[in-house]
Structure 1
Amino acid sequence: MTRWGTSVRRGALLHPALSFNTSRCQNVSSTDGTVHPAAAQGAGPYRDSVLLPRTEFPMKLTGQNLIDREVQIQQECGFAELYSWQRERKAKKEYCLHDGPPYANGDPHVGHALNKILKDIQNRFEMLRGKQVHYVPGWDCHGLPIELKALGELGTSGLSPLQIRQKAREFAEGAIARQRAAFQRWGVMADWDKCYYTFDGTYEAAQLKVFQDMHSKGLIYQDYKPVFWSPSSRTALAEAELEYNPQHVSKAIYATFALATLPPKMAEAVGELGSISVLVWTTQPWTIPANQAVCFMPNAQYSVVKRRDSSQLLLVATERVSSLATLLSTELETVGTFTGTELEGGVCQHPTIPRKEVPLLPANFVTMGKGTGLVHTAPAHGMEDYSVASHFKLSVECIVDEEGRFTELAGPELQSLSVMGEGNDAVISMLKAVGSLVKEEECVHSYPYDWRSKEPVVIRPSKQWFIDIASLKDKEVLAKVRVIPESARGSLLAHLDRRPYWCISRQRSWGVPIPVFYHKETGEPLINKHTVSHVTQLFSEKGSDCWWELPLESLLPPEVLKKVSHLNYERGDDVLDIWFDSGTSWAAVLEGEALADVYVEGKDQIGGWFQSSLLTSVAVQKRAPYKALMIHDFVISEKGEKMSKSLGNVVDPDTVIHGGEDPSVSPAYGVDVLRWWVAESNVFSEVQIGPNVLNSARDSINKLRNTLKFLLGNLQGFDPRTQAVDPKEMHYIDQYLLHLLRNYSMKMTDAYNDFGAGRAIRLLQAFITRDLSKFYFSIIKDRLYCDPEDSLGRRSCQTVLEEILDGVTRSIAPILPHLAEEVYLHAPGHNEGETMFRSGWIKSSPVWRRPGLEEAVEGACAIRDSFLSSIPGRNAAEYELTIEIEPGLLFELIESLQDEPTSSYSQLTELMMSSQTTLTSALPRDLPADALISNGSFLINLEGGVIREDSAYQVAAVPTSMARCPRCRRYTSSSPDCPCPRCQTILTRAQ
């Protein structure tokens, strides 16, 4: 039997073989940085004996002081050398985040900040975890926007390709310099002297090796087929170079094609009804002169209907009859119904070209969602139309030139007219003149635009170089890739599915030349492994300018010159699509197996870099170049608007960091606020930025600084290397905080592993608010300030505070590297010159998880919560408690917190925050009349539920009869003028 009547052995529940499943206790209301009464006693006689927090760490930094401090930390803590240092250290594992190249076209913006900081947070975490990070920043340096800006400065008359390329290179280099400086200022960890650029000769050579491999496999070929063509840019475009304008307005028409020859089944059924016309609908009337067929859906139903207002007979899809009747404002009487397959054999008269007939043909791309269920088909000006032409051997004649104007093949009435303007109107007029125009209307729909010039594109056939991607659409390869968020996988597959082929040739000067030579007379291309290998070697040595600088006989390899004369050939003028440029970066930048752990880019790269990288890698390596894709959204204003200069809502990251002309409107937030904004945002949906968001981020960091300042202040003079207390000798509440810190560190690790920087911030804030500020800090201040400086209780507390400081600092380091290093400079226990980022991730020990400990403290917390609920709004320190617990497991747990029945200085009293605590198995019968009684129960769950005990307790709270101690301000003294026994002992020792 123990002295208080419980029959359970004291300490049995702290045996290491036992494990517990418990619920968290509630927390005492307090705020971060609250001042203990002893710290608020002004210039009292005992002030010098109280150990108040002291630190030079500033609570807050603002304005130029903040900017200067961040720059100073970058210099002092070796931000510029960190990447090289970690690449040289020994590590068991490598982590490769392959940098998608931003476009070298303009100044850095908040989209860059979102992307680069997201990557840096992950890289810094992986580096802290001990991995060797492979991260090489790069830039996409070729392409039309840069070329157009070069041309804009020079003018277009009489410029050679080399002149254009020189100016474009200078423009790109200027943009790269500005962007690189910004990325460095944002604290992005990299070797900024060893970046990759798509205009480097070595990069271009690696790109051509991929080209050669794909060409040798028959995946790259030249053909004449429809491509997206930009009249404004005078070049072919790939799908990824398009922007779809959802508000584009087209003149849509319903037009008739008279049936010159009825399908056999229809002729049998309708007899002598009269002339029947096929009704089609199109939003591109200008393509009617190029019509070669009308297509139907084989498994759909079609009806011949008679218009009540004109008796005209029309062939339309049965499913569309009702909608068309409403559209035409007349009744449509069905006179015959047929299956799609029964339309085969029908022939139509072209409406604007006399004596031209076009067939009715089956096609599975025909849909019934709108229109008439019969599709006007112009193979030269539609991708799906071209597939019909390929199958049925139809003519593919282009009637549109590179400027988007009708050619002479369209006829004298249309020649030279713009197909997107007056040419479109002229075709509508021609249809109206011959009686084929049934209805004209405006149609607002999504239409492709050139992403550079922001002008609409057309589809026209052109002799281009293509990649056959049919064999590369391996969905099983993509199935092995982790996609974050998983919901984006559908978009990746959809973009892949709808791409019939990839046009990789561009009619420009600023890019990587396609290494092909053409026979001057026949136009036949000369390209083989010898020519490509030779040009690849030249590019590696001299750069791609040599394509224009060297004579033709130098560009052709000796083994080819033995068989052909260079005089019969000329070099090609086309350059490679910039998506092929960037899509082969895995071959030029990645090491070893050319496989990255992750690619991290915006959702616009779903049809761009992610896809071009996948296709080229599957072609060469038969696998994806990445294990995972992390896809983020775009940045918008706080009002949810797209950022634009005209709206005046553009947020410049440089202004965010350094402030604007008026600090009251645009204060200097510093880099870490920008990084906190990135981390805290839900990057998988549109990310808002503006004054409210940035002010909130700054306030959150200042609150964090307050907590860190409290920790640093109470560690003044403490050296963890010599004064730390072994966890087994610590107070139980201190051990309990180590247990919570261990859980926190594991959750933080999991969050970062899942690209969950936002989750990491929420875990941080919850830990600081719930576990530290409102709980632990409120309880330990008396021990910190008023116990002897070198006492076990105070050193125990300081040991835990140092572990908390270290753990919290490391946990926020990937997000806030400047603040983390600043704290590390003030923290105890480090040698001079050490930096946080060279010292690893959060250090937690399995010994911090002690079975029984969690139950003891949380059981006491449950009792404390019952007590506090009985004295709402009052000071717990003004009460003496008597705690009754029935004999059993809970009694033994609570008994371990207090060595004697009644105490004012026990761990239990500290947890209760009361004047005095008595632990008993039965409440005394002579309780005062003003005693406040509260009760409850606490469930102990051992061995996963094998042992369960629901223990009841009662708490009697009585106003204390003790006086307030003039030193510690606790109600533990016999007289208000006399220090309490503990303080008397401390003061005596100090004399």
Structure 2
Amino acid sequence: MCADTTTPDYRSTVFLPETEFPMRAGLPQREPDWLKRWEEIGVYDRLRERGAAEGRAPFVLHDGPPYANGHLHIGHALNKVLKDMVVRSQQMMGKDARYVPGWDCHGLPIEWKIEEQYRAKGLNKDDVDVVAFRQECRKFAEGWIDVQREEFKRLGITGKWDDPYLTMDYHAEAVIADEFMKFVMNGSLYQGSKPVMWSPVEKTALAEAEVEYHDHTSHTIWAKFRVIAGDALYTKTPTDVVIWTTTPWTIPQNRAISFGPAIAYGLYEIIGRPADSGATIGHRVILADALAEATFAQAKLAGPEFVRRLADVPAADLSGMVCAHPYRGIEGGAGEWDYDVPMLAGDHVTDDAGTGFVHTAPSHGDDDYQMGLKHGLPMTYNVEPDGSYRADLPLFGGQHIILPDGKEGPANVSNIKALAGAGALFAKGKLKHSYPHSWRSKAPLIYRNTPQWFVAIDKPLADGMGQYGETIRARALTSINDLVEWTPQTGRNRLFSMIEARPDWVLSRQRAWGVPLTCFVKKGAKPTDADYVLRDAEVNARIKAAFEAEGADVWYVAGFKERMLGGLHDPEAYTQVYDVLDVWFDSGSTHAFVLRDRADGAADGIADLYLEGTDQHRGWFHSSMLQACGTKGRAPYRGVLTHGFTLDEKGMKMSKSLGNTVAPQEVIGEYGADILRLWVAQSDYTADLRIGKEILKGVADSYRRLRNTMRFMLGNLKDFTEAERVELRDMPELEQWLLHRLAELDAEVREGYAKYDFQGVFQKLFTFCTTDLSAVYFDIRKDALYCDAPASVRRRAARTVLDLLFHRLATWLAPILVFTMEDVWLSRFEAPGESVHLHDIPETPKAWLNHALAVKWDRIRAVRRVVTGALEVQRTAKVIGASLEAAPVVHVDAETKAMLDGVPFADLCITSAIEVSSAAAPADAFTLPDVAGVAVVFRPAQGGKCERCWQILPEVGTLSHPATCKRCNDALG
């Protein structure tokens, strides 16, 4: 009978990884189940209860409200994911992190949508009852709130979704009105007639935050104003002051000419002209010397044969001049422009462009308005809300500057023709430049003088809240410098410069959907009169109570004025104001009805963080600052974080017309929300962020590598119990080194999350997982985990470390990969009501830190890298198939040899044997240029192959289990 030579099958004796955690994530299909689970077990509310029970310090991120008027875009996703990572990380670091999502419900974006629906049906908004119109706006907003809420939740955003804040809630409207009435009472509110940015298409004033700039081609003109009084040098011979403007339509509103007192001006005479020029020989013009050549070239008079300079024109001469309006005496003008035009010194005038003279129309520009205030210039009211001239304006009555469809009207060309007909057009041209447009209608804007309500930001407030300054501007600047932490720091500089230079705040809008300016004005009084605006705390209380009970619509119900004033004042003596508040006042007031009034707000009404895009320096950050400085005396936030905009992969701005938009819903449908969240974490949000198919593929690859790390841990932790746990002092050095790395990482992760440096946190964790774990620790310890006996200290220590590692990695990554880490956690700890998001990042013992050991293991890893490099050469040459077929000789210095003799270096290098020598290495030994003093000589392993662990050792074939090594023989018993 022949002997049995069959090799035993030891596969069933090896402890291979075992886990139900799938290799393929299936995020698009599986994520909704986790959302449902979190809602069912009430994760957010349980955390709030825990925070109260444990007395945790609150952390409040106050949500900047998006508009409820359409599906989410990728910018929304970026913003909300960043907020969520802040809230979750703060919670897991021991805070009571509260997040109440909110929506901006009033304002032009929503009203414009309803108007579009009306226009499509051939209806006119003005023919509809205002309350009925407002109710349609409310229904529209309600519908989109429900849509957006589900889209935000699908991103894995935690928050109080069942009780968000809405600016159109009755309480919110009451508080917004009450906050406005504080400005009424502190005397900072006033009605003024001054130029504001105006949309002829939407027929309303716009805030700076509602304005965007696009290239626009404007008419440019050089117009002549005849000198009619002054030194004889300028009146004996016809002499003109030449102005330059890109808004010919403002010429009918001209009231003065401004000059720069420090600019050098000259008197020039026309001595010749080409055949195609309309210039008059002998006439004289005054220009800034630095701009004369360019101006004459535009008038086709370039060259000494056409023009000569006669004399300097000093500022004293200019101050003494009076000019005539170019339309003075014009046929059909009916004397409209037969007034004098003074010459006024102005610091805003430069010789950078134009002629060095600024045509000044106080009704149509802020600099012009300031000149008008200073010198008592009259205001004009020639332009109607729809962007047309008043009907009775001579020559131009009824003509539009901007047509209802946003295109240019005839006003510019009509003025150019009128100037030419009057002999006052010196030159003309076209200029392409950046020009303000409405962000909603995309139509060009104009500056228009109109009565509006303003808050004076430089008026001292006697409100007892002067700790940080007596005026709104002073309080805001102090807040920016001393009370707010900026991420990144550049945000501080941007907002500071904006508020430092900004004019008074325009609060009023000529619209229907919003919180009205809840005030009454005295009939017959002037805006400058002390009693023009009714200031009565009892009336204000009545208004607030009515809004609380019935909403802001009640303001528009017949008899409301009588109801509010009755018994206190004669209703017939007052007029009710029907303008609505700038929607930025609404959102700027949210600190009052969210942070101050809600139980889950902030005790002092101040948020720990406001987080929005960089555009909100002129938007929500700005309006919240102004509003709170007027009613609280300081900024409503302690920290401000700003992020950039989203671009396509080529760095281009996303546009539907270009077809390069990336919809968050599409990304979620293909990859899952966690991939979108990981894209945010991998990106530098302080700059503009790029996204596209290739970028997302790279993100998905990073995700797969992280997932495999977690899967390896889960597979090797099956059935781990506390009885297996090994204390630090009893662990091999490799485990002690890994715990040192965990302690280092714990500090770095906490510091990164505290600084909102999600990119830094992720990079450190990803590098740790791929370099320290997959390439080193897992690679080395697979053998012990699979083949050591369950009772071996080495295997138990490895499983202990895997357990400690699991708890940290799962919680470190949970704020970023909210769904995946839930999957990971429940794969070990599935129980009713369990969730990784109910846990904190575990505290890490300081005893784990061992810097001396870390230095030692840096050297060991460096030597190991040379060994693996040498073996890779042999593997590539097909000399060996696996590193266990090798038993190399490693030549090192004596100190390194002593270090390596104290560790199982063959195990670390995953070789069957290894010899460490301090002898000189042969010349052909393998080295790496960046690891000095290490050389490796390859030798094949000697002995038989263990059929259980595959090591090649001399003892194989000599034991009771002849196909195994001693370690495996002992494990088999």
State how far apart, in whole Å, the 2-side matches of 1:670 and 1:689 are. Answer: 15
Q: Is the 8 A contact 1:909 1:915 kept in 2?
A: yes
Aligned to 2:884: 877
Q: Is the 8 A contact 2:788 2:967 kept in 1?
A: no
State how far apart, in whole Å, the 1-side matches of 2:799 and 2:712 are. Answer: 12
Q: 1:274 aligns with which of 223, 227, 237?
A: 237
* Residues 1:573 and 2:617 aligned together: no
Which amino acid in 1 is paired with 2:546? L
The aligned runs of 1:835-854 (5 Å cut-off) are: 835-854=835-854
The aligned runs of 1:386-785 (5 Å cut-off) are: 386-408=369-391, 410-411=393-394, 413-420=395-402, 421-470=409-458, 471-474=471-474, 475-480=477-482, 481-519=484-522, 524-549=532-557, 551-552=559-560, 555-557=563-565, 561-562=567-568, 564-590=569-595, 591-658=602-669, 668-719=670-721, 721-785=722-786
Equivalences, count:
903
Q: Is the 8 A contact 1:292 1:377 kept in 2?
A: yes
Aligned to 1:290: 253
* Residues 1:312 and 2:320 aligned together: no
Aligned to 1:343: 318
The aligned runs of 1:761-910 (5 Å cut-off) are: 761-827=762-828, 833-874=833-874, 876-881=883-888, 890=896, 893-897=899-903, 907-910=904-907
Aligned to 1:215: 184
Q: Is the 8 A contact 2:177 2:516 kept in 1?
A: no
* Residues 1:249 and 2:206 aligned together: no
* Residues 1:114 and 2:114 aligned together: no
State how far apart, in whole Å, the 1-side matches of 2:357 and 2:513 are. Answer: 43
Q: Is the 8 A contact 2:942 2:953 kept in 1?
A: no
Q: CA deviation at 1:88?
A: 3.8
State how far apart, in whole Å, the 2-side matches of 1:89 and 1:693 are. Answer: 44
Which amino acid in 1 is paired with 2:941? T
Which amino acid in 1 is paired with 2:399? L
Q: Is the 8 A contact 2:744 2:849 kept in 1?
A: no
Which amino acid in 2 is paired with 1:643? M
Distance 1:686 1:290, change over 3 A: same
State how far apart, in whole Å, the 2-side matches of 1:936 and 1:466 are. Answer: 71
Q: CA deviation at 1:139?
A: 0.8
State how far apart, in whole Å, the 1-side matches of 2:426 and 2:96 are. Answer: 69
Distance 1:989 1:569, change over 3 A: closer
Q: CA deviation at 1:988?
A: 5.0
Aligned to 2:347: 364
Which amino acid in 2 is paired with 1:861? R
Which amino acid in 1 is paired with 2:93? R
State how far apart, in whole Å, the 1-side matches of 2:928 and 2:534 are. Answer: 93
Q: Is the 8 A contact 1:289 1:353 kept in 2?
A: no
Once superposed, what is the RMSD of the aligned Cα atoms?
A: 2.8
Q: 1:261 aligns with which of 229, 249, 267?
A: 229
Which amino acid in 2 is paired with 1:190? G
Q: Is the 8 A contact 1:539 1:546 kept in 2?
A: yes
Q: CA deviation at 1:989?
A: 5.2
Aligned to 2:147: 178
Which amino acid in 1 is paired with 2:479? V
State how far apart, in whole Å, the 2-side matches of 1:970 and 1:815 are. Answer: 41
Aligned to 1:201: 170
* SS of corresponding position for 1:538: helix
Q: C-alpha deviations, 1:858-888, integer Å up to 9, x for none?
A: 2222333344454552354344355566665
State how far apart, in whole Å, the 2-side matches of 1:834 and 1:136 are. Answer: 23
Q: CA deviation at 1:75?
A: 5.0
* Residues 1:190 and 2:198 aligned together: no
Q: Is the 8 A contact 2:183 2:631 kept in 1?
A: yes
* SS of corresponding position for 2:451: strand
Q: Which moved more, 1:97-106 or 1:832-841?
A: 832-841
Q: Which moved more, 1:92-101 or 1:831-840?
A: 831-840
Unaligned runs of 5+ residues in structure 1 are 1-41, 659-667, 898-906, 940-951
Aligned to 2:195: 226
Q: C-alpha deviations, 1:88-109, integer Å up to 9, x for none?
A: 4424421111101111112222
Q: CA deviation at 1:896?
A: 3.4
* SS of corresponding position for 1:415: coil
Q: C-alpha deviations, 1:751-810, integer Å up to 9, x for none?
A: 222222122222122111211111112211111111112210011111112222222211
Distance 1:290 1:554, change over 3 A: closer
Q: CA deviation at 1:192?
A: 1.3
Q: CA deviation at 1:494?
A: 3.4
Unaligned runs of 5+ residues in structure 2 are 1-5, 274-280, 330-337, 403-408, 459-470, 527-531, 596-601, 875-881
Which amino acid in 1 is paired with 2:78? L
Q: CA deviation at 1:706?
A: 1.2
Q: CA deviation at 1:541?
A: 2.6
Q: Is the 8 A contact 2:32 2:154 kept in 1?
A: no
The aligned runs of 1:74-113 (5 Å cut-off) are: 74=38, 78-79=42-43, 81=45, 84-113=48-77
Q: Is the 8 A contact 1:496 1:607 kept in 2?
A: no
- Between the aligned residues of both structures, percent identity stands at 33
State how far apart, in whole Å, the 1-side matches of 2:314 and 2:56 are. Answer: 67
TM-score, scaled relative to structure 1: 0.86
Q: Which moved more, 1:304-313 or 1:607-616?
A: 304-313
Q: Is the 8 A contact 1:552 1:566 kept in 2?
A: no
State how far apart, in whole Å, the 1-side matches of 2:657 and 2:591 are. Answer: 38
Q: CA deviation at 1:536?
A: 1.6
Q: Is the 8 A contact 1:723 1:795 kept in 2?
A: yes
Q: Is the 8 A contact 1:346 1:360 kept in 2?
A: yes
Q: C-alpha deviations, 1:903-928, integer Å up to 9, x for none?
A: xxxx22222333324456x549xx9x
Which amino acid in 1 is paired with 2:450? S
Which amino acid in 1 is paired with 2:841? W
Q: CA deviation at 1:292?
A: 0.5
* SS of corresponding position for 2:952: coil
Which amino acid in 2 is paired with 1:611? H
Q: CA deviation at 1:163?
A: 0.5
Distance 1:915 1:966, change over 3 A: same
Which amino acid in 2 is paired with 1:49? T
State how far apart, in whole Å, the 1-side matches of 2:457 and 2:621 are. Answer: 15
* Residues 1:353 and 2:335 aligned together: no
Q: CA deviation at 1:189?
A: 1.0
Q: Which moved more, 1:470-479 or 1:292-301?
A: 470-479
* SS of corresponding position for 1:142: coil
State how far apart, in whole Å, the 1-side matches of 2:94 and 2:400 are. Answer: 62
Q: Is the 8 A contact 1:530 1:557 kept in 2?
A: no
Aligned to 2:972: 990
Q: Is the 8 A contact 2:28 2:671 kept in 1?
A: no
The one of the two structures with greater contact order (alpha-carbon pairs below 8 A, sep at least 6) is 1
Q: CA deviation at 1:581?
A: 0.7
The aligned runs of 1:927-946 (5 Å cut-off) are: 932=925
State how far apart, in whole Å, the 2-side matches of 1:846 and 1:199 are. Answer: 51
Q: CA deviation at 1:327?
A: 3.1
Distance 1:349 1:193, change over 3 A: same
Q: Is the 8 A contact 1:151 1:164 kept in 2?
A: no
Which amino acid in 2 is paired with 1:840? D
Distance 1:769 1:43, change over 3 A: farther
State how far apart, in whole Å, the 1-side matches of 2:691 and 2:244 are. Answer: 44
Q: C-alpha deviations, 1:791-836, integer Å up to 9, x for none?
A: 10011111112222222211111111111111001136x8764321
State how far apart, in whole Å, the 1-side matches of 2:40 and 2:846 are. Answer: 34
Q: CA deviation at 1:158?
A: 2.9
